[in-house]
């Protein structure tokens, strides 16, 4: 890919969407973040008056949670920091990434001088083909994928790691893996030489805490630790992180709660549009595939009903991602009004006249 990629825009930015509509404050469904966050105890604030030197309790809790050795992980200020730094530390080459996916990866790899190649998110044979023809140096995966929910099997990832040269990078972004029963199978991947990114912002519902982890080889982690500099993870994130990663009762309860809420909300969204090809319901978001013009027009129409949704561009397709709403009553009322407007109002859907004809 030779053309420059645009700087990614992210969901949940209050400067990019209306603050409210005639229906009241906007329901933020654009982020794919758990709307029922882990309750941070007040006593976690007690260390904010001191410099945030690293607390080994967080290291131990994270190692137990991800089932890796303490030497195989490093705490970071969210996963954005390593996403920006890691592409700079491997030789420039050809990197394959899924599409559509979290855009920051491709943007940062291209910015570090790499040539980005894309494969359809659910077509693992395309990856095999690139590796088999010797046209791939590095591989980036998002698993579960954002926004399609596609998950790559541990078997496929290990096979690709074995086929790539040892000094090339295979990076797996598992920001949404906390909802899985196996929690991403981190130990198996790391022990095979795969670098894994984890985030506490999605499942734990605390993106403002800015806490993530890189799991990988100790030599790579040492390089990243040096690049981060001192005090990279704030005191609140360290104190809260150690406790929430160890809160197994909350983990189990929340996984069940998210599954059930996603099924309810996904079913109601499905009632608005009928059967839409490419629809997927995950524990943290619901995605639908439309033509890009329809998806963008739908996003604008949703704003008028107080619903902020995210649209991912993928060629001529647009993937509309609906995050979960904590206030289901408000969501269902607004979805019903949206559905009525689609039926009775002549909408300018980018020259689309039949809303069912745009299904991808």
Strand partners, 197: 173, 214
pTM of this prediction? 0.91
For residue 10, the 8-state DSSP code is -
Q: How far apart are CA 5 and CA 161, in angstroms?
A: 27
What pLDDT shows up at residue 325? 98
pLDDT, tens only, 9-63: 766 555 566 766 788 889 999 989 999 999 999 999 988 888 999 989 999 999 9
pLDDT, tens only, 253-268: 999 999 999 999 999 9
Q: Which residues contact residue 148 at a Cβ distance below 8 angstroms, ignoring those fewer than 6 apart?
A: 100, 101, 121, 122, 278, 280, 287, 319
pLDDT, tens only, 151-207: 999 999 999 999 999 899 999 999 999 999 888 899 999 999 999 999 999 999 999
> What are the CA-CA distances from residue 286 to residues 29, 105, 134 (Å)?
10, 22, 36
Sheet of 170-173, strand order: 73-76, 212-215, 195-199, 170-173, 138-142, 94-99, 115-120
What pLDDT shows up at residue 181? 82
Q: Which of 22-36, 286-300, 342-356 has the lowest mean pLDDT?
A: 342-356
Q: What structural domains does the chain harbor? A: 20-36+250-358 (3.90.1150.10), 42-246 (3.40.640.10)
């Amino acid at each position: 890919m030779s053309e420059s990629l645009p700087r990614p825009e992210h969901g949940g930015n209050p400067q990019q969407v209306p603050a409210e509509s005639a229906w009241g404050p906007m329901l933020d469904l654009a982020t794919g973040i758990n709307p029922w966050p882990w309750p941070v105890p007040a006593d976690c604030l007690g260390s904010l008056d001191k410099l945030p030197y690293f607390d080994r309790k967080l290291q131990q809790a994270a190692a137990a949670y991800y089932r890796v050795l303490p030497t195989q992980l490093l705490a970071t200020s969210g996963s954005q920091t390593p996403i920006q730094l890691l592409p700079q530390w491997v030789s420039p080459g050809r990197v394959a990434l899924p599409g559509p996916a979290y855009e920051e990866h491709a943007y940062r790899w291209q910015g570090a001088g790499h040539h980005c190649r894309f494969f359809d998110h659910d077509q693992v044979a395309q990856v095999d083909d690139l590796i088999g023809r010797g046209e791939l140096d590095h591989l980036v995966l998002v698993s579960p994928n954002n926004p399609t929910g596609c998950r790559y099997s541990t078997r496929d990832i290990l096979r690709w790691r074995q086929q790539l040269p040892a000094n090339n990078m295979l990076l797996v972004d598992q920001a949404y893996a906390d909802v899985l029963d196996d929690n991403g199978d981190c130990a198996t991947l790391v022990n095979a030489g795969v670098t894994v990114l984890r985030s506490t912002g999605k499942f734990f519902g605390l993106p403002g805490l800015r806490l993530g982890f890189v799991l990988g080889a100790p030599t790579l982690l040492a390089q990243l630790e040096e690049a981060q500099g001192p005090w990279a993870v704030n005191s609140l994130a360290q104190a809260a992180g150690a406790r929430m990663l160890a809160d197994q009762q909350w983990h189990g309860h929340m996984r069940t709660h998210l599954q059930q809420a996603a099924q309810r909300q996904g079913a109601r969204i499905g009632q608005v549009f009928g059967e839409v090809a490419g629809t997927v319901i995950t524990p943290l978001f619901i995605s639908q595939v439309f033509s890009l013009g329809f998806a963008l027009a739908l996003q604008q129409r949703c704003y008028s009903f107080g619903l902020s949704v995210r649209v991912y561009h993928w060629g001529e397709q647009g993937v509309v991602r609906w995050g979960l709403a904590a206030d289901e009553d408000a969501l269902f009322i607004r979805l019903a009004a949206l559905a009525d407007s689609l039926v009775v109002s002549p909408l300018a859907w980018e020259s689309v006249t039949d809303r069912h004809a745009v299904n991808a």
